Structure 1
């Protein structure tokens, strides 16, 4: 055997990382039968058994364990090759994949992307709304809008500004329940909480406040659902001041509870910044979103 199809190695790594054919298929966007065929083809080509079934799923054999590092090195080389090739594409046409948080993707980016579409009709956009950090090194996206400081190496990051946070409720809610004047008054109010996320509990603790999950009568981790619950008057909710300021039915609770503002970054891989369409989209989004954050 002189050559080995990278597709087979990609399937192998996906199964190693996830432990099952179904999860691996979802990870790389393939069907489970296709992935199963790729694993069998790789085992035939190598002349070894790579996985055995167990109660946990698929466990790598000793032979497979000895191949993981080499397969990962080949994967990194293939990804680097693809990034460098894309970085040399200079035409203002083709597809740019952008990922952003659910709130940013739904409430801030649509008018920006509409203007971009009018300005650059030959550039197509794929928008991924997700609160999970997409891996730019693996090309899950070309450009990311992130609300936390980037940590991955080989990324180019532009800080666009910051998004202050506040506690908001509807006028109707305040008319029914009154307006809290101090942090202690929150004990008498319905504050919307998170379900599995402990972010709000940690924020409370950082301000010396004691809170338990059950102190929040409605809990939801989906940020758009959380936002809509607040706008429906279901309780007080934490929101970006920029977004809440667009809705006259919302009022900020002035109780002296200062939450740290969210940093807003635009991030792209250093290998694709030389790509004309990626650079154009990155510059366009940087200017437009930066202006919003500055109040322009």
Structure 2
């Protein structure tokens, strides 16, 4: 018992938190068979059943629940040991420049930065609120939050999660004009859409509905203007579900409407990974944005660690122009 391999406990914690071998394997960058062997070996050593296996995944038993807290504490200590050994205990201070879309910069980042600046008072933040792609290679930004996979040379990118998109309208608009029963009825309502952007037109066409920009009675390419117009009761628009869910004046409509998910990525130049402050901010953003994408409160305390569990970091090798929402 005193000689339990730490890797077994690490694998146990990852499976318990993710609920499956496949998700835990992605988190730890290990193979599913390896994790399966680790769980079986740990159960044999402890002589307890840690999980109930089923079609829904791995569910903790009462013994597993009791041990998970200890496993997390051990992981935190191991991460602290690793940071100390790598010399990452230097002061976390300096300026970090973050590029993000207008919607994220205005409606998501402030709550995240309120916690970050409280936990790390030595870090100064600069925000570039733009839907244009900031050049990470030229240091126009240190970290970019993007809604397409970044693919510039020499960048590393982390996939955070996928954000659901929903049709929505203000409660006062619904009270005046009613709630559309299906997509065909949607076209008889005031729709707020893009002026020059083609994303919404292409979305309708992919659903078999051929329209032009005149179907949008109010048009603007500034996403925050569209959202504020929606809140004011101007008409119906398509928005990130976590933002809609947090706004009591707006309701999601047409739940049967299948709208493509919006991916969320964090990217930085690979040379910046050695910077303690950049990694600290990137890890904090990763954890906070994951909660946002999943619809969890941003007020939850973040893990105060510069070595949060990371998904596989993808090195990009080609260039392309990105657009963000």
Q: What's the TM-score once normalised by structure 1's chain length?
A: 0.68
> RMSD over aligned Cα, in angstroms?
1.4
Aligned to 1:49: none
8 A contact 1:194–1:221 mirrored in 2: yes
**1:148 correspondence with 2:148:** yes
Aligned to 2:262: 262
C-alpha separation in 2, matches of 1:264 and 1:280: 19
Aligned to 2:302: none
Determine helix, strand or coil for the equivalent of 1:238: strand
**1:190 correspondence with 2:180:** no
Aligned to 2:249: 249
Gap regions ≥5 residues in structure 2: 1-87, 297-325
8 A contact 1:180–1:255 mirrored in 2: no
Instruction: Give 1:13-28 correspondences, 5 Å limit.
Output: none
Aligned to 1:210: 210
Structure 1 position 91, deviation (Å): 4.5
Aligned residues: 208
Aligned to 2:14: none
Q: What's the TM-score once normalised by structure 2's chain length?
A: 0.62
Structure 1 or 2, whichever has the larger Rg, is: 1
8 A contact 2:193–2:219 mirrored in 1: yes
C-alpha separation in 1, matches of 2:164 and 2:112: 20
8 A contact 2:194–2:221 mirrored in 1: yes
Aligned to 2:240: 240
Instruction: Give 1:61-140 correspondences, 5 Å limit.
Output: 91-140=91-140
Structure 1 position 115, deviation (Å): 0.9
8 A contact 1:100–1:145 mirrored in 2: yes
8 A contact 2:161–2:293 mirrored in 1: yes
Determine helix, strand or coil for the equivalent of 2:158: strand
C-alpha separation in 1, matches of 2:287 and 2:231: 29
Q: Which runs of 4+ in 1 moved over 2 A?
A: none
**1:178-202 C-alpha deviation (Å, 9 max, x unpaired):** 1111111112101111111111111
Determine helix, strand or coil for the equivalent of 1:112: helix
Aligned to 1:295: 295
Gap regions ≥5 residues in structure 1: 1-87
C-alpha separation in 1, matches of 2:187 and 2:241: 23
C-alpha separation in 2, matches of 1:283 and 1:255: 33
